[in-house]
Amino acid sequence: MEFKNLLYEVADGICTLTINRPDKMNALNQDTINEIKQAFQAIEEDDAVKGVLLTGAGPKAFVAGADIAEFSAFTPGQAEKMAQNGHRTFNEVEHCFKPVVAAINGFALGGGCELAMACHIRIASENARFGQPEINLGIIPGYGGTQRLVRHIGFARAAEMLLTGDMINANEAKEAGLISKIVPQENLISTAKELLNKISQKSPLAIAQIIKLINRYYEHESGGFESEISEFADCFNTEDFKEGVSAFLEKRKAQFTGK
Q: Is 217 exposed, middle or buried (0-12, 13-18, 19+ CB in 10 A)?
A: exposed
Size of the site for ligand COA (CB under 6 A): 15
Min separation Cβ 217 and ligand COA, Å = 28
138 interacts with ligand COA by CB under 6 A: no
Min separation Cβ 110 and ligand COA, Å = 3
CA of residue 134 relative to chain centroid, distance: 13
Strands 61-63 and 107-109: parallel
144 interacts with ligand COA by CB under 6 A: no
- Which entry of 114, 160, 172, 194 is annotated as an active-site residue? 114
134 is catalytic: yes
SS3 letters for 195-228?
Answer: HHHHHHCCCHHHHHHHHHHHHHCCHHHHHHHHHH
Rg (CA), the chain: 17
80 is catalytic: no
The window from 22-30, 39-47, 177-185, 214-222 that contacts ligand COA (CB under 6 A) reads 22-30
Min separation Cβ 7 and ligand COA, Å = 19
Buried b / exposed e over 229-251, threshold 16 CB at 10 Å, is beebbebbebebbbbbbebbeee
The 107-126 contact track toward ligand COA, x by CB under 6 A, reads x-xx----------------
Residues annotated catalytic, as ranges:
114, 134
Binding site for ligand COA (CB under 6 A): 24-25, 27, 64-69, 107, 109-110, 133-134, 137
